[in-house]
Structure formats: C-alpha cells, structure tokens
A and B are shown apart, each in its own frame.
Chain A
Amino acid sequence: MAKTPGRAVFEFLDERFLLSDIITFGRKKMVPEHRQSFWYFFGGICLFLTGIQVATGLLLLLYYTPHVDFAHESVQFIMSQVKFGWLIRSVHSWTANILIGVIFVHMFSTFFLKAYRKPRELTWMTGFFLLVMFMAFGFSGYLLPWNELSYFATRVGTDIAGSLPLIGKWLKTVILGGPDVSQATLSRFFWFHVALLPLAALAFIGLHVLLVQTLGMSKPVGVREKREIPFFPDFLLKDAVGWTLILVLVGVLCVFLPWEVGPKADPFAPTPLGIKPEWYFTFMFTTLKIVPPHILGVEGEMLAILGFLAGGLLWLLVPFLDRRAARDERSPVFTWAGLAVALYIIVMTVLTYTVPKL
C-alpha cells in the first residue's frame, strides 16, 4: 500500500506539530441544531469579514500614504492607476460597513438568545469591546482618504467627544493630536487603524474565539433539542456557503457602486450642509440633534452623551444583571429591554436619512 503524497506530508507535519491530537480535540466540538441555530453562523461571518478587511487593508497599505499632501492623491491613484485598485479599495470600504452591520446582528442575536448567561459572561463582554473597537476602526479609517466628507465627519465626531464633562477637552486633544483635525490627526488615526486597533482586536478576538471553543455554543433557554452536528467540518462547511454568498454580494456592490474618492479636504472651506458621520454612528448623532437644549437645567447634549455612556455600561454588564437568565430561566424583562434598544437604534438611524434638515 503506497502512501499518497498527501498522507506523507500529513505524517511529516503530525510528528512535529502533533496535529493528530489537535484534530482529535477539534472533532469533539459539536454544535447544537435547533430552530434558532441559524444565528450561530453570524459569528463566523464576522470573522470571515474581518479576514477580508485584514487582507484588503494589507494590500491598501502598499500604496496609501498617511500625509495630508499625499493621502487623497494616493487613494485617487489606487482608484485610477493601480490594477484592480478600485476593487481592493471598494471591497475594503463596503466590507467595513457590512461587517459592522453583521456585528450588530450577531450581538443582538446573542442577546435575545441569552447566550451571555453564565458561564459565557466574558464572551459577551469581549464581544462588546470588539463592537466598540470595530466602530473605532470605522471612525479612524473613514478619515484616511482625507476627503471633504471624512474631514468634516471627523470634526463633528470629535466635537461631540469634546463636549463630555471634565475630560472632554483633554480627550478631544488626545484623539486629534492637537486642537484641530490636522496632519497630527491623520498620523494618529492611521496608527490607531493599522497598528493599535488590529493588535487589540486580535487579542480580543483570540479571547472571544477561545471562549467559544472552550465553552461550546449556548442553547437558548428552554430548548430541549438534543440534535448536534460536528463543528469540523459540517458546521464550517455550512458557514462557508454563507461566506460564498456574501462574497457575491460584495462583488456586485463593488462593480456597480464603487466607493467614491470625493473632493480633497479643505480645512478652510465651510462645513458642508447636512454633514453626518457614518451610518453606524447616526443613531447617537441624531439623538444629540433632537435632544432639547436643556433638561432640568442641565445641558441636553451632555445628558444624552452621559446617557449613552451609562447605557453602554449597563449593556456591557447585562450578564451580571440578568439574574433570571443566569439561572437558566426565561427573562422577558431583558428581552423587552433589548427590543426597545434595537428599535431605538433602528428608528434613530432611519430618521437621520429620511427627515430633511436633521
């Protein structure tokens, strides 16, 4: 019985990396199958899309220059001169938005399925930090092309950070690297986007995935279904079908709606009318716009910002607050609260784009 070349390679690696042991461990991992198990795919989709971002980001890094005199020009160059530059850049921009959307879906699905309950509290918390990190990825990346929209969106966004009580001014200066959006800001945001955040995200993704692998998939409260399928390769193959379909979507978007370069940022130009941050920030942005100027003598905007911070903290600590879920009991109060939050985010986001002069 001659060994196939594949077998020979495997045995070579196995002796050195102890692959067989890893494979045996991997085969043990099972994924429950029930009516809601469709939601399990979203975690893998997040990971897949992150992989695309890393790959396309790495490629963009080859031609991008993070200096105010060259940033816009280098993006223009990528879009017009570099072979398939338009594709790499458009994939990066579109996937960024899709990824953040999928993260929200993943977060809310795990919330409603109460997957955060004991012993998965840390999975939830690392996940929430990852959401914040990816929104920071979006915010920092948005400035890098140095076009009109990105310059002013950054200004507006950091102005909001600057209005926090006590630490606001200091925080804004630290984020911007100075009093205004300038070269210092571009360098800083570039550093956030390609160094600091990727390392932090890698660490937290590592923790998050490790926890998922160690603890297995959570089953919703009250599900008695015992059916399971192996993670490797069955679940993964199913996940891969989803990934393939998403790739088709991204491809269509990039060919028919390539991301625009826009006019170069001019700090002396007046702020364009109707300037907004990217869609995933708009629910907070619109809240600040419609909140009344004063509530019980306190500045309305500040109260709203503090409200968001407090809300975020509560959201982070949900696994510890939801006692009933921790006892594997139904907790409708938290379900309703989650629905209210989801509805609020959706309504505020839609309002931003449908109501004129907001």
Chain B
Amino acid sequence: MPMKKPFSRLVAAAALFAPLVVFGQKNSCLECHDQLEDELKAPVTAFKGDIHGQFNLSCVDCHGGNPAEDDVDRAKDRTFKGAPKRTQVPQFCGGCHSDGAYMRRYNPGLRVDQLDQFWTSRHGQLLKGGDSKAAVCTDCHGVHGIQTAKFPKSTTFPWNIPQTCARCHADAEYMKGYKIPTDQIAEYQQSVHAQALLVKKDLSAPACNDCHGNHGAFPPEVSSVASVCRQCHLSAGELFARSPHKKAFDELGAGECEACHGNHKILKPSTAMIGTDDPAVCAQCHEQGSRGFAAAAEIRTALDGFEGAFQDVEGLLALAEQKGVEVSDAKFKLLDVTTILVGVKNLTHGLDVAEIRKSVGEGETALAGVRAAGEKALEEARFRRQGLVVATVCLAFLAVALALKVRQMSRQRKST
C-alpha cells in the first residue's frame, strides 16, 4: 500500500513556520514529554542521539501535530498522527524513505528501495498476512534513537547485527509457532565468522544480513547457497560449481556448501570432513565400492599425507629453533608450502582427483627443500653441542693443570 503524499505535512509545516518567525524553533512536543515519565519521556532522551534530529527533522515530521502550541489539545491538531500501529510502521517509515526525490535532499547516496525489499522478505510476507509479530523497521533500527549503520554503537552496525536479530530469533517463547529453530545465533557465535567479526573485529566477516539479505531477509534457496557463499569464497564456489556435486546436491535438495559446512555454525574445516570414516560425510551418499567412495578415500589419503608431512617439517624447524639454531630462511620457504597446502584443501571442492594429486605433488616437492634445511639445522645444533663438549673438556684439563701448577709452585716456595 503506497503512502499518499502527505498533504497534511504541508499544513503542519505552514503551521510550524509561522510561529517560528516570532518564537524561534519551539518544540512543545519535546518540552512536554521531557516532563513526563517512563515510556512517555523515553522518546525525548533517545531522540538526542537520533540521526533524524541531526538533519533538523523532529517529532512533527513523522507524527504531525503543532509543536508551537503548548496546550496539548491544540498541539495534537488535525495533522497529528500519533504513534503508528506495528503493522503500519513499514509504510510510516517508507513514506519518506521510499521517496527518492525527498531522500536526495538529505543523503543522495542512500538507497530508497528498502520498503520494496521488505515486502519480498519473510518478515514482510508475514506482516502482509496479518501477523503483527513479524519484524518491522523499528524492531531492528530502534524508534527514537535511530543511528546510521555506519556508527559502531548502532543496532545495525555489522558486529551488533547478530544481537539485533537474536532479540526475536533466539527467543523460543516469541518464536513459538513459527516452526524454525531458535539456536541460529548461538550456533553462529561458535563459528569462524563470529570469531572474525565479533572478536577480531574484522568488518569483512559476515553477519546475518550478509547471507540472508538486509531488508529482503529470507533464507537462501538450496540451489543458491553456493552463490551466497562465493561472494567471499569465490574459488571454492567456482570449484564447486564445476564439480559433479553441484547438480547432485541441487537435485537432492541438499544445501550445497551447507551440506558439509553447516549454515550458522561454520567451523574451521579440516581434512577429516573428507573420506570414508566418521566424521566425513561422503559415505552418507557414496556406497562402498562406488567411484565416489574410492575418490573420497584417495583424496583423504593424499591430503593427510601432505598435511602430515607439513606438520612434521614444522615440528622439525621448531625443534631446531628451540635448540638455538637460526631457521628464519627455512621458515620463509615453508610459507610457500603453506600457500600450497591451503590451495590443495580448497581444491577438494572441485573433486578432481588428478588436479588434487598434482597440487599435492608440487607441495611435497617444495616441502622436501624445507625438510632438508630443517635437518641441516638439527645437525648444526648437534655440532654445537659436540663442540661445547670438546671445548669444556679442554678447559677442564686446563683448569686442573693450572691448579696442579699452583700447588706445585706453592710447595716449592715453602721448601725454599
């Protein structure tokens, strides 16, 4: 239901401007409500930090009324709209925020399609169907203390978004009857994405809206999960798209990336996810003796071999370093192997055994060089200890010889 151009606003503006000339910017709404208590005072306190206030918009611009009038009945004139009902909030906000020409005056770069998007979202659909429990603008953005999403304390700043969504989605009581789980945020908080965003403060890590959409929030369809993930994980997505799994998963209704990595509780992947034994998932579809089963086993063996060798060499260098030998050159060469190892693990999304083997081969060749350096370093450590023994033995003999000489000399002196 598109909002009619508020003619009443013009009236309110006229009513406002006339007294302004004489009395200056009077705002009886704020003055009166400031003297009230609790919920009636709250808007005044909150509005102090509101972004609309910074653009010189105030109560009248949303609620109508006459802010020049001190008398409450006169202030609440014909133009007064009061607080909108929950189900009417989207249209209420959209009245300005969907009007491109109007918004241009305040922030030309700000999008104006939020309301359109909202109607495509699950929240919007529920609302249209009459469900007033669904989220509306104010549930996420706040009411009177609305801040831009660029401000770190805003409810819509990336690292605050999980909390904002959790207000409903983690509330089992509230979500009763909707037949969706309420543990998504708890699961998300255990994920690498949450670790990156909430702990390491890496703003490039995804929060709820990056995968589900902002105003058009909806869980991604099975066949588009990979598209969502590959916004950041491009190569994994591309490899998956050309692998035999893409068609198979879509037909099965398995959620592409989600089938192996989960959706909210995405943890650091490991080679244990591939193979024919628990906790690998390959055997759930591929029976023993099938091509897929054999491939899974082969890939796992190749990966384990390479990663095992890598960890061996890492340990070798650490040991040499602990023994006091300088291994920074070898460690630098190991970085190259790390890059290859990460690349090989990524290649598993493509399920091309030959491709994986080739990469593993390259990695193992590079690793051989580092291993040689590591072993040389250990040899050096051994050489140093051996040298110490030799030097200490010589010095011990010298100390004894000196002591004997001293004794001999003092005896000589005593006898003479």
A–B proximity contact (CB within 8 A): yes
A contacts, CB < 8 Å to B: 76, 79-80, 86-87, 229, 233-234, 237-238, 240-241, 244-245, 247-248, 251-252, 255-258, 261
A258: chain B residues at CB < 8 Å are 324
B406 touching A251, Cβ below 8 Å: no
- State which of B384, B391, B395, B410 has its C-beta within 8 Å of the C-beta of A234: B410
- Measured CB to CB, the nearest residue on chain A to B403 is A241
- Measured CB to CB, the nearest residue on chain B to A242 is B399
**Proximity bits, B394-408, A CB within 8 Å = 1, else 0:** 011011001101100
A255 touching B324, Cβ below 8 Å: yes
A86 touching B410, Cβ below 8 Å: no
Of the four ranges (under 10, 10 to 19, 20 to 34, 35 or more), the interface on chain B belongs to: 20 to 34
A247: chain B residues at CB < 8 Å are 391, 395
- State which of B325, B388, B398 has its C-beta within 8 Å of the C-beta of A252: B388
Is B78 part of the contact surface with A, judged by Cβ < 8 Å?
no
Q: Which 6 residue pairs are nearest across A and B when measured between Cβ atoms?
A: A80-B326, A258-B324, A244-B399, A255-B388, A241-B402, A79-B326
Q: A241-B403, A248-B396 are in contact. List 11 more A-B contacts (CB 8 A).
A: A76-B326, A79-B326, A229-B410, A229-B413, A241-B402, A241-B406, A245-B399, A247-B395, A255-B324, A256-B324, A258-B324
B396 touching A76, Cβ below 8 Å: no
B contacts, CB < 8 Å to A: 324-326, 328-329, 384-385, 387-388, 391-392, 395-396, 398-399, 402-403, 405-406, 409-410, 413
- Measured CB to CB, the nearest residue on chain A to B393 is A248
A252: chain B residues at CB < 8 Å are 388, 392
CB proximity of A183 to chain B, nearest CB, Å: 24
| 14 A/B residue pairs, CB under 8 Å, sorted by A | A76-B326, A80-B328, A80-B329, A86-B324, A86-B325, A229-B413, A234-B406, A234-B410, A238-B402, A241-B406, A244-B398, A248-B392, A255-B324, A256-B324
A248 touching B395, Cβ below 8 Å: yes
B406: chain A residues at CB < 8 Å are 234, 237-238, 241
- Measured CB to CB, the nearest residue on chain B to A244 is B399
B399 touching A241, Cβ below 8 Å: yes
B324 touching A251, Cβ below 8 Å: no
CB proximity of B330 to chain A, nearest CB, Å: 10
- Measured CB to CB, the nearest residue on chain A to B387 is A255
Q: In the bound complex, how far is the Cα of B385 from the Cα of A251, in angstroms?
A: 10
A240: chain B residues at CB < 8 Å are 402
A238: chain B residues at CB < 8 Å are 402, 406
B402: chain A residues at CB < 8 Å are 237-238, 240-241, 244
A80: chain B residues at CB < 8 Å are 326, 328-329
Q: In the bound complex, how far is the Cα of B403 from the Cα of A320, in angstroms?
A: 40
B329 touching A234, Cβ below 8 Å: no
CB proximity of B224 to chain A, nearest CB, Å: 44
A76: chain B residues at CB < 8 Å are 326, 328
CB proximity of B26 to chain A, nearest CB, Å: 50
CB proximity of B123 to chain A, nearest CB, Å: 45
A237: chain B residues at CB < 8 Å are 402, 405-406, 409
Q: In the bound complex, how far is the Cα of B384 from the Cα of A87, in angstroms?
A: 9
A79: chain B residues at CB < 8 Å are 326
- Measured CB to CB, the nearest residue on chain A to B377 is A80
Q: In the bound complex, how far is the Cα of B388 from the Cα of A241, in angstroms?
A: 18
Q: In the bound complex, how far is the Cα of B323 from the Cα of A258, in angstroms?
A: 9
B403: chain A residues at CB < 8 Å are 241
A233 touching B409, Cβ below 8 Å: yes
The winner among B325, B384, B413 for most chain A CB atoms within 10 A is B384
- Measured CB to CB, the nearest residue on chain A to B396 is A248
- State which of A241, A244, A245, A257 has its C-beta within 8 Å of the C-beta of B324: A257
CB proximity of A102 to chain B, nearest CB, Å: 18
Q: In the bound complex, how far is the Cα of B406 from the Cα of A233, in angstroms?
A: 9
- Measured CB to CB, the nearest residue on chain B to A252 is B388
B392: chain A residues at CB < 8 Å are 248, 251-252
CB proximity of B139 to chain A, nearest CB, Å: 41
B399 touching A251, Cβ below 8 Å: no
CB proximity of A72 to chain B, nearest CB, Å: 11
- State which of A234, A245, A251 has its C-beta within 8 Å of the C-beta of B388: A251
- Measured CB to CB, the nearest residue on chain B to A239 is B402
